[in-house]
């Protein structure tokens, strides 16, 4: 009766979350108490801050790029296309990159020419589901109108090579770390992946023990040289020293499980519980990775972690993609950069929607052959500064929008994803923190397509789909808007979150 496409079934696990009730106690307090000093007081700097926001936005929130200067008359690969690919494509499409479609060299690019024109015109490549006309984020992967016109003209003109000596060298891509030399490198259990295999999903424990408690600024996931890691969403398991004798005991990797019982068994197989069977504290979303993006690197003074002597990273979902024609022994690892001082402003997280701080309205019953609109809203009890957003839906997702409405009625744009793309669920970090004042209502709006027109629909014919309060099952949906934030401090909206500011930033 229920025909579940195998590939869809495996894909859904990609971004699934632990079920409800979660077997590990997740720190539940989503929004801190109002600091007593501010409670009930209107702060005089508010108007000044508002002006800064407006000025900042005039400078930064430009509309979509326009065709400023003309597209060259004769477009060639070496002169015009290769530089665009170097900037926007080759991080993934180089040899050993995450896509197995090579387009860095002329001959390969020519053979894919019409596919290239197709995907860039539809803005499917480079992958960036967020609408850049709505809001801006760091590391935006968006072509300008001129770049798109140049690529399509190149294809229309027969995809010519151009003078070979004009071919620009490939950029140097950082190996080992995006940031520098780590203080600690913890290998992930090496996993042997057979040739021509695709889509393996693992739950992996990466334990460590240190001589003493310490602090870290950044925790970074690095895929092994084969570059076949498709995606990681990793949490941090923190042990109290006396509660866990041996963090290394237990399996390092087990296959991903979808049901609650299977997940609890998996956690036990990995040896995650304390010695008395209780569960340690779990800090969510500490090491995330998607090809082409960098780790969650915030500037000095923001973010950071307390690293207890004993701990483990729980890679919730280590997803390996297509291997190619050889066996690959993946040797990914986690880089840790120590800090001398405790985190000054550790980032916090809450989520609207499924298992979040606010319910999904009207409900998450998505009837067959319908397009369903849902929303969730949450009023912030304090001023907050938003750093990063992560909208989350499964295969029926069609579009997503997030914004905040201030008490006096102004709207703060957060994110719009007009065409939901299940494969590219980024953690979107703002160039500068976005202040959402106390009493604002944050809205998330989602649209789900449960008709047969949705090619990713896991059922044929369509079935009733629910969110089952956060179940991980392939056939369930989720609606979540995950927000990383700090309690607001004056001037936050001027602090750049860009770890690699370009000299010409802000042009």
Cα–Cα distances in Å, from 182 out to 6, 178, 188, 218, 307?
Answer: 40, 10, 15, 9, 15
The dihedral built from the CA positions of residue 436, 438, 439 and 444, taken in this order, carries a sign that is positive
| 293 alpha-carbon distance from chain centroid | 8
Name residue, tokens 């089952």: 468
Shortest distance, position 81 Cβ to ligand HEC, whole Å: 9
Chain residues that interact with ligand HEC, rule: CB under 6 A? 88-89, 91-93, 98-101, 103, 112, 115-116, 119-120, 125-127, 141, 143, 291-292
- Output the smallest distance, CB 231 to ligand HEC, in A: 10
- From the number of C-beta atoms within 10 Å of its C-beta (0-12, 13-18, 19+), residue 455 rates as exposed
Between residues 81 and 336, which has the closer beta carbon with respect to ligand HEC? 81
* Calpha distance 401→446 (Å, rounded): 7
What are phi and psi for residue 446, nearest 5 degrees? -135, 150
In this complex, which beta carbon is closest to ligand HEC, that of residue 119 or of residue 405? Answer: 119
Closest approach of ligand HEC to the CB of residue 326, in Å: 17
Residue number closest to ligand HEC, CB atom: 292
Q: Which is nearer to ligand HEC, 292 or 397 (CB)?
A: 292
Shortest Å distance, C-beta 156 to ligand HEC: 15
Task: Indicate the pairing of strand 441-449 with strand 397-405.
Answer: antiparallel
Name the residue nearer to ligand HEC (CB basis): 117 or 347: 117
**Nearest CA to 390 among 129, 66, 32?**
129
What are the helix (H) ranges across 431-479? none
Contact 109, 81 (CB under 8 A): yes
Least Cα distance to 178 among 232, 223, 226 occurs for 223
Residue with tokens 């989503």: 30
Identify which of residues 92 and 229 has a Cβ nearer to ligand HEC in the complex: 92
Nearer to ligand HEC, 85 or 236 (CB): 85
Could you tell me the smallest distance in angstroms from the CB atom of residue 186 to ligand HEC? 25
Residue among 103 and 247 whose Cβ is closer to ligand HEC: 103
CA distance readout (Å), 98 to 9, 195, 471: 22, 16, 29
Closest listed residue to residue 99, CA positions, set 83, 129, 119, 80: 119
CB of 223 vs ligand HEC, minimal distance in Å: 12
State CA 92 to chain mean position distance. Answer: 16
- Shorter beta-carbon distance to ligand HEC: residue 83 or 368: 83
Min. distance of Cβ 228 from ligand HEC in angstroms? 10
CB of 103 to ligand HEC, least distance (A): 6
């Amino acid at each position: 009766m229920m025909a579940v496409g195998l590939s869809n079934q495996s894909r859904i696990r990609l971004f699934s979350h632990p079920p409800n009730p979660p077997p590990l106690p997740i720190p539940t307090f989503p929004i801190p108490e109002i600091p007593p000093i501010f409670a009930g007081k209107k702060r005089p700097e508010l108007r000044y801050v508002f002006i800064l926001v407006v000025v900042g936005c005039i400078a930064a929130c430009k509309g979509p790029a326009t065709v400023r200067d003309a597209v060259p008359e004769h477009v060639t690969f070496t002169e015009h296309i290769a530089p665009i690919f170097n900037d926007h494509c080759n991080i993934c499409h180089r040899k050993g990159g995450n896509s197995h479609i090579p387009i860095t060299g002329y001959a390969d690019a020519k053979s894919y020419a019409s596919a290239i024109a197709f995907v860039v015109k539809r803005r499917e490549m480079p992958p960036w589901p967020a609408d850049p006309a709505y809001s801006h984020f760091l590391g935006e992967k968006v072509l300008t109108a001129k770049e798109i016109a140049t690529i399509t003209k190149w294809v229309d003109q027969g995809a010519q090579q151009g003078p070979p000596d004009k071919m620009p060298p490939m950029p140097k891509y950082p190996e080992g770390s995006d940031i520098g030399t780590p203080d600690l490198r913890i290998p992930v259990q090496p996993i042997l992946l057979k040739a021509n295999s695709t889509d393996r999903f693992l739950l992996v424990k990466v334990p460590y023990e240190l001589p003493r408690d310490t602090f870290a600024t950044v925790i970074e996931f690095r895929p092994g040289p084969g570059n076949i890691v498709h995606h990681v969403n990793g949490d941090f398991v923190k042990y109290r020293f006396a509660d866990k004798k041996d963090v290394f005991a237990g399996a390092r990797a087990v296959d991903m499980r979808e049901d609650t019982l299977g997940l609890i068994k998996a956690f036990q197989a990995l040896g995650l519980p304390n010695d008395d069977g209780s569960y340690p504290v779990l800090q969510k979303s500490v090491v995330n990775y998607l090809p082409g993006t960098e780790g969650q690197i915030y500037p000095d003074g923001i973010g950071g972690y307390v690293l207890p002597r004993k701990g483990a990273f729980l890679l919730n979902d280590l997803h390996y993609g297509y291997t190619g024609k050889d066996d690959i022994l993946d040797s990914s690892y986690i880089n840790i950069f120590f800090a001398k001082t405790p985190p000054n402003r550790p980032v916090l997280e809450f989520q609207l929607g499924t298992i979040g701080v606010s319910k999904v309205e009207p409900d998450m019953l998505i009837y067959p052959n319908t397009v369903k609109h849902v929303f969730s809203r949450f009023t912030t009890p304090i001023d907050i500064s938003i750093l990063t957003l992560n909208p989350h839906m499964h295969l029926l997702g069609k579009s997503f929008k997030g914004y905040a409405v201030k008490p006096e009625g102004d709207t703060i744009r957060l994110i719009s994803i007009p065409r939901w793309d299940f494969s590219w669920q980024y953690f979107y970090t703002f160039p500068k923190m976005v202040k959402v004042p106390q009493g604002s209502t944050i809205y998330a709006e989602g649209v789900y397509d449960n008709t047969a027109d949705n090619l990713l629909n896991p059922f044929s014919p369509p079935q009733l789909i629910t969110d089952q309060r956060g179940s991980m099952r392939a056939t369930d949906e989720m609606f979540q808007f995950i927000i990383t934030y700090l309690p607001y401090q004056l001037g936050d909206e001027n602090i750049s979150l860009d770890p690699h500011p370009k000299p010409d930033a802000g042009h």
